[in-house]
């Protein structure tokens, strides 16, 4: 039975890996064959996403691949993020966290205020506005799916909110790495904080950090963006009960929810990998070839896993759903994206530059 379960997901995983391989091949052709550069102006992760979106929207993906694509989007993505932890040290995690938490809180509060005002102006359903706001500020689709039952959102509201977050998340994922490098003049800390705070989904942040790393040779930015996003994810524990209280005011019975069900456990795997790296550094000398090879292998694996997940996400992105959204939810999502980005930049400029 267990063997059959693995066989069901295998075709989709293989397809994700094939698209990763094709993307890497395209990257080499663009950089080496066409431009004679050491590095392509388009990263492997971005190529994988774009190829996935193209094939996913112009060709019908057979059902045999779907379970494996879903597995890649969820579990291989998380495995890639966990493996990224081998690049960090515990003190670095704590240091980034202390800086990131005030930034995250300021962005969450700002978006909630702006969307509260938009509800009145545009007269869109309160539930959809809540879903878009928590998706924009915390962790995208995961936050939307976890919040929907608590505020009794219907299928259409959930679908529109997810399409909204997907659209603007992909746009920011493709644009923000280049914008961050230009605006912050290559400062890896500020760029990583911006990418980790201003982009919606965990997968999108991982892709943006990977694009930045591949284009500007900055693994520090990828690390900081990942840590910032994982800290954001843990805010689900606060935000979902808060939304339940706000939406169900005056209602005697609230829908039950479990903190255990919404906690992003792969964060613990990421932290565990950080600890493993540092235990290994203590046990083996810095120049130990075997340990260095293991670290390099895990680092390379993390980028392969993340790019496979990006390809799977691209294949699963249906542009028709975006067209069905309508004008008002589209406008709310666009304003939410701009608000997070602008508030993040202002906070970095006004607050963080003073304390660092």
Helix H, strand E, coil C: the string for the chain is: CHHHHHHHHHHHHHHHHHHHHHHHHHHHHHHHHHCCCCCCCCCHHHHHHHHHHHHHHHCCCCHHHHHHHHHHHHHHHHHHHHHHHHHCCHHHHHHHHHHHHHHHHHHHHHHHHHHHHHHHHHCCCHHHHHHHHHHHHHHHHHHHHHHCCCCCCCHHHHHHHHHHHHHHHHHHHHHHHHHHHHHCCCCHHHHHHHHHHHCCCHHHHHHHHHHHHHHHCCHHHHHHHHHHHHHHHHCHHHHHHHHHHHHCCCCCCCCCCCHHHHCCCHHHHHHHHHHHHHHHHHHCCCCCHHHHHHHHHHHHHHHHHHHHHHHHHHHCCCHHHHHCCCHHHHHHHHHHHHHHHHHHHHHHHHHHHHHC
Residue 326 has pLDDT above 80, yes or no: no
Condensed to tens digits (0 to 9), the pLDDT of residues 207-226 reads: 899 889 888 989 889 889 98
pTM of the model: 0.72
**Please, which pLDDT band fits residue 177 given cuts at 50, 70 and 90?**
very high
Greater model confidence, 195 or 95: 195
Residue 117 has pLDDT above 90, yes or no: no
Q: Per mean pLDDT, which of 182-191, 201-210, 250-259, 305-314 is the most reliable? A: 182-191
Residue 146 has pLDDT above 80, yes or no: no
Q: Burial level of 299, CB count in 10 A (0-12/13-18/19+)?
A: middle
Question: For position 350, what pLDDT does the model report?
Answer: 84
Section 110-138 average pLDDT: 79
Section 54-75 average pLDDT: 87
Condensed to tens digits (0 to 9), the pLDDT of residues 213-271 reads: 888 989 889 889 988 888 888 787 777 777 777 666 544 454 555 556 656 677 788 88
The domain spans of the chain are 88-305+316-355
Section 282-295 average pLDDT: 76
Section 112-135 average pLDDT: 79
């Amino acid at each position: 039975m267990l063997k059959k379960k693995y066989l069901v997901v295998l075709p989709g995983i293989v397809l994700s890996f094939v698209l990763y391989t094709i993307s890497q091949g395209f990257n080499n052709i663009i950089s080496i064959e066409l431009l004679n550069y050491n590095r392509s102006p388009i990263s492997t992760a971005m190529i994988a996403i774009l190829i996935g979106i193209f094939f996913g929207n112009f060709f019908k993906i057979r059902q045999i691949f779907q379970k494996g694509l879903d597995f890649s989007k969820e579990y291989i993505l998380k495995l890639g993020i966990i493996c990224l932890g081998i690049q960090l040290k515990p003190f670095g995690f704590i240091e980034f966290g202390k800086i990131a938490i005030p930034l995250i809180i300021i962005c969450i509060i700002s978006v909630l205020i702006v969307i509260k005002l938009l509800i009145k102006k545009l007269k869109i359903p309160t539930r959809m506005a809540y879903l878009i706001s928590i998706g924009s500020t915390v962790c995208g689709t995961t936050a939307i799916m976890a919040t929907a039952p608590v505020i009794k959102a219907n299928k259409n509201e959930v679908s529109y909110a997810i399409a909204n977050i997907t659209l603007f998340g992909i746009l920011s994922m493709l644009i923000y790495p280049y914008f961050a490098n230009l605006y912050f003049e290559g400062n890896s800390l500020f760029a990583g904080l911006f990418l980790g705070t201003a982009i919606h989904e965990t997968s999108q942040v991982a892709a943006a950090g990977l694009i930045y790393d591949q284009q500007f040779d900055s693994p520090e930015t990828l690390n900081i963006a990942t840590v910032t996003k994982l800290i954001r994810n843990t805010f689900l524990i606060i935000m979902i009960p808060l939304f339940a209280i706000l939406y169900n005011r005056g209602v005697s019975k609230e829908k039950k929810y479990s903190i255990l069900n919404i906690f992003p456990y792969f964060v613990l795997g990421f932290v565990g990998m950080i600890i493993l790296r540092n235990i290994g550094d203590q046990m083996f000398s810095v120049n130990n070839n075997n340990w260095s090879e293991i670290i390099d292998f895990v680092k390379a694996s993390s980028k392969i896993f993340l790019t496979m997940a990006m390809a799977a996400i691209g294949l699963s992105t249906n542009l028709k759903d975006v067209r069905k959204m309508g004008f008002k939810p589209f406008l709310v999502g666009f304003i939410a994206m701009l608000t997070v980005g602008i508030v993040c930049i202002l906070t970095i400029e006004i607050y963080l530059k003073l304390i660092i």
